[in-house]
Structure 1
Amino acid sequence: MSRTFSFAAHTRCPHSMRTGMRGLTIVELMVVLIVLGIVLALAAPSFTEAIRSSRLTTQVNELVAALQMARAEAVRRNKTVQYCADPDKAKWTVAIKGEDDALREGVIGPDIGLEAHCVDFGSDGIAYDPDTGSVVTDAKHEVRLAGTSPRIVYINVASISAYAPK
C-alpha cells in the first residue's frame, strides 16, 4: 500500500496556535530599544575617534604624496621644485622654484595642526633646506588633529615617509 504525503496539509498552523502569536509587546519593544540605545552609546565615541584618525591619516597621506610628487617633478623637469605647507592659508603647494604657477595645490583640512615649512627638491631628487641650501638629512614635521595621536612626516636625503610615534 502506498502512502501519499500532502505537504500543504501538514504545514498549516492550527487556529489556536496562530491567535497566540501576534508580535512583540510594548514592553519587549522598549527593552530592545533600550539595549540598542546602550550599545550605540558605547560604540559612538570609538566610532568618532576612528573617523578623526582616518581624517588625519588621509591628510598625512596627501602631504606625503605631494612631497613625493615634488621630488619626481624636480627630477623629471631637471629643475628645483619647492613644496610649501602654509597652515595660515590652509593649503600646500608644489611649484617650480621661482615661478608663480603651482604644479599642484591641496587643502590642509580644518582642525589639522601643522607647522609652516618648505622643502626644495633639486634636479638630483635630493631634499634641500630652502633657507640654507643644505641637504635635508632628518626633517620631521608633526601633523596633529585634536583627539588623536599625532603623525610624523619624515623627510631625509633618500626617502619621504610617515609614521605614528609610539
Structure 2
Amino acid sequence: MARGVFQEATAVMLVLTLACLGANALGWIRLRALARLASGAQATLSAREIAGLGQLTGLIRLEAAYFTVLLLYALLYRGVLALWPVVLVVLYHWLGWMANELTRTTSRAVAHLRRQPVPGPSFRERARMALAVIGALDAVEAVILVYVIVALAQSLHRSGA
C-alpha cells in the first residue's frame, strides 16, 4: 500500500511540476509585451496585452500553491529530492508572492497602463529592473524545476511504476 501511495504521489507531483513549468512559460508570454514596452520597441500595449499582465497575479498564486505542495512532498518523501533547492525556490517564491500581494505591484502596473497607455521613462526603467530580477529568479526556478522533473521521473522508474 505504501509503495502505491508513493508512486501515486510522485506521479501527481510530476504532473504538477510540468504544469508549473508551463505556467512559468505562460507568465513569460504575458511579460513579453511588457518587455517590448520597457525596451522602447513598442510605444503602447493593447487592451488584451494589459489584461494578460493582469493575469500574472493568478499565476503567481498558483505557483505559490504548487511550491507549498512541493515542499510538503519533499519533507514527506525524503531522499527523492535534495531539500536545499526546494527550500530555496519555495522561500524566494513565497517572498515574491507575499510582496506582490502586499504591494499590489502587478495590479498597480496594470492600472497605470490602463490610465496612461504611453508610460513615461520612469515606468519603463522600473519595468526593465523588474524584468531583470524576475528573469534571473525565473532562470534559477526553471533549473530547479527541471531537476525536480528528472528526480521525480527517476524515482518513479526505480520504484517500478
> Given the two structures, how large is their TM-score scaled by the length of structure 1?
0.33
Q: Going by fraction, where is helix more abundant, 1 or 2?
A: 2
TM-score of the superposed pair, with normalisation by structure 2: 0.34
**Over alpha carbons, which structure has the higher Rg?**
1
